[in-house]
Structure 1
Amino acid sequence: MQSIKVGIIGGAGYTGGELLRILIHHPQVSIQFVNSQSQAGKAVWETHKDLFGDTDLRFTSEFPFEKVNVIFLCSGHGQSVKFHEEHDLPQDLKIVDLSTDFRDESNGFTYGLPELQKVKIKESGKIANPGCFATSIQLALLPLAHSSLIKEDVHVSAITGSTGAGQKLSPTGHFSWRNSNVSVYKAFTHQHLKEIGQSLNSLQSDFDHSIHFIPYRGNFTRGIMANVYTRFEGSLEEAYSLYQKYYEDAPFTHITENTLDLKMVVNTNKCIIQLQKEGDMLLVTSAIDNLVKGASGQAVQNMNLMFGLPEEEGLGLKSAGF
């Protein structure tokens, strides 16, 4: 097939940079433009210094939609709605939006969690990429919901790296504050709870339980580890069988019986899940890279599905062992 011609909107931030790192080496992609109002005219590698020697692309303030088959929207939350209001987009232009704006599947968007609705993604022209915490937590719960086995409230304790807060500086983003430090934020009220509940209800229509979510800011740059637990009447062996069957056709989601640590997934599009049973409680530990499977890698996975490519195309990324 001809190469997929790609445009990136908001290419100067963390998700835009991660998207560039993946797509520059994607065998079926040709990047036609990278838009950034703040960096227009500058070489991409001047902002994303690790790309020096990999690309001669320059940021542009223009929007040459006629040159591309798909655009990735990597601007801040709330900006995608404005973007659609301000631009008359070609009807055949495919869109992958990494913001929260259309995750409720409004405006014709499909919620882009491949492990939940791969067929619908393949048929869609507009994808709302899931949130990072939402991805990790949903992948921990989808097999239970699919079998209508979430019978009581769900409890979640999850920690994320500093890149999850975006590139814009804030008091809790500075190295001097974040280093050697851990803190709780948005306890019980995190914005990703809405999309998690939406997905669980799509599989288990009688799901009406609370999700008690405590997010932590971690003193590391990237990765999410979510510990999710709820009451489960079956055995640990039955739980493993349930999870392995649900994810048997999911190339990036893996179930392990061994000890799970964050470095196993950092810099990859993987989600690795471990199960433990204590009494009548099932603990599901889920780990992803917040910028890859939690953002730009999953966006590329969705693009692959939209264009009829294998999900893994361009996503054979290596984790950092040390």
Structure 2
Amino acid sequence: MATGKRFRAAVIGGSGYGGAELIRRLLVHPDVELVRVASVDFVGEPLSAADPALEQVTELVFEGIAPAEAARGVDVVLLGLPHGVAAPAVDAIARAHGGAAPGGMPRIVDMSGDFRLKDAAAYARWYRRDHPCPERLADFVYGLPELDRAAIRAARFVASPGCFATAIELALLPLARAGLLEGVVHVQGITGSSGSGATPSAGTHHPVRAGNLRAYKPLEHQHVPEITEALTRAGARDLELRLVPVSAPLARGILATAFVELPEEWTPARLDALYREAFAGEPFVRVPRRRLPEVAAVSGSNFAEVGVAAGEPRGGRRTVALLGALDNLVKGGAGQAIESMNLMLGLDERASLADPGPWPP
């Protein structure tokens, strides 16, 4: 059925939480028509089999087709596949369509961690497996618009950042650009259960998760190297990130808190001005005026919040806490992937992403 929309999109790996968020946003996109959803689960069933909210919203069904076939005849492919599975899918699409006539190769936005790092050895270290397609690492642009907007616009391949990575990078980006981020930085990140995916596990089972806080992968989380790479490109020096993730009894959201030591002349007012100037004009980053960032304010939306809390000076130094909050499935996941898609296609960056989310969350 013709829709009059300018572009056609396919989603590969659409049965998980990230895929569901991609689908929801694409179905209401003013310029992009979702024409195909590929999955190894629910093949032949309506999309509502994985996301009940899509009941009678769309006639699309999950198709059990190979990535190269799923990418046929579309302008952009968005991948919601797991780490290690996404890279071979990208390679198959590129091999099948890369030699076609100009315009035949679709743009690709990958939500996995397979192409976020430039170093195959670093990938092997943090993801505990050899990279499936190291020859394609150089093709990808890192998809944080607040850092790489111009490069994303020109890209054919984008690696969308991780959820912890996005929250922490946004919280620390102004310091990196100001030359104030150096050495060891300690971070605690608290996250909702949807970040663990749709497949239940012992750590995400509701009786264990509800009413509980539990650290996992302390100092070993796979988002650490991409955060270090991104912030170093922004101006950080000799950065060493010490991240302790904590699972929390909520479905959506991340609150990250990073601790740094700054010279005492960096007063709360001066830091506040630095952050407001850094994010002035950014469509999806807010610096609240009367409170610190919180998950409820961004849940269900593509907005992120950042903020600063500065202690009293001691011995010429001041301890500063930098906070970032976002929805891990939207700005930390599918929403940011669509943001990059919009930039790649020359569309309004805010298309299908401008809603503020529900309240109460």
TM range (shorter): over 0.9
Equivalent in 330, 344, 350 of residue 312 of structure 1: 350
Question: Are residue 15 (structure 1) and residue 18 (structure 2) matched?
Answer: yes
**Residue pair 1:151, 1:231 contacting (<8 A) in 2 also:** no
Residue 83 of structure 1 is matched in structure 2 by 89
Code of the aligned partner of 2:14:
G
The equivalent of 2:161 in structure 1 is 130
Q: What secondary structure does 2:238 align onto?
A: coil
How many equivalent pairs are there? 321
Task: Say which is worse superposed, 57-66 or 231-240, in terms of deviation.
Answer: 57-66
Q: Which residue of 2 aligns with 1:278?
A: 311
Q: What is the SS of the residue equivalent to 2:221?
A: coil
Unaligned runs of 5+ in 2: 99-104, 119-136, 313-317
Task: Indicate the residue corresponding to 1:227 in structure 2.
Answer: 257
1:57–1:162 Cα change, 3 Å = same
The one-letter code of the counterpart of 1:212 is: R
State the Cα distance separating 1:2 from its structure 2 match.
Answer: 4.7
- Asked whether 1:47 is paired with 2:56, we answer no
Question: Aligned in 2, Cα 1:319/1:64: closer, same or farther, shift over 3 Å?
Answer: closer
Aligned residues: percent identity?
33
2:293 is equivalent to residue 255 of structure 1: no
Letter in 2 for 1:59: F
- Pairwise CA distance, 1:258: 2.1
Partner Cα separation in structure 2 for residue 222 and residue 64 of structure 1: 29
The 2-side partners of 1:143 and 1:156 are apart by 16
How far off its partner does 1:148 sit? 0.7
- Aligned AA (1:291): L
Distance in structure 2 (CA, Å) of the matches to 1:118 and 1:89: 28
State the match for 1:31 in structure 2.
34
Equivalent residue, structure 1, for 2:271 = 239
The corresponding residue for 1:302 is 340
* 3-state secondary structure, aligned to 2:239: coil
Question: 1:268 matched to which residue of 2?
Answer: 301
Q: Is the aligned partner of 1:59 residue 2:62?
A: yes
Shift, 1:294, TM fit: 0.3
Question: How far 1:320 sits from its partner (Å)?
Answer: 2.5
* Partner amino acid, structure 1, of 2:169: Q
Match of 1:212 among 222, 242, 250: 242
- Secondary structure, aligned partner of 2:97: coil
SS at match of 1:144: helix
Aligned-partner Cα distance in 1 for 2:233–2:64: 40
Structure 1: distance between partners of 2:183 and 2:139: 33
Matches of 1:203 and 1:107 in 2, distance apart? Answer: 19
Match of 2:101 in 1: none
| Corresponding letter in the other structure for 2:79 | L
Q: 2:200 aligns with which of 134, 157, 169?
A: 169
Q: In structure 2, the residue corresponding to 1:232 is in which secondary structure?
A: strand
CA distance in 2, matches of 1:159, 1:265: 14
Cα offset for 1:54?
1.4
Partner in structure 2 of residue 184 of structure 1: 215
Q: Which runs of 4+ in 1 moved over 6 A?
A: none
Deviation at 1:265, TM superposition (A): 0.2
Show CA shifts across 1:179-215 (max 9, x none).
Answer: 111100011111000000001111226x113211111
Instruction: Report Cα offsets for 1:222-259 as digits up to 9, x if no partner.
Output: 00001112012211111111111111131100111322
CA distance in 2, matches of 1:302, 1:17: 17
C-alpha separation between the residues in 1 aligned to 2:14 and 2:75? 17
Partner SS for 1:266 = coil
The code of the aligned residue for 2:47 comes to V
Indicate yes or no: 2:119 matched with 1:95. Answer: no
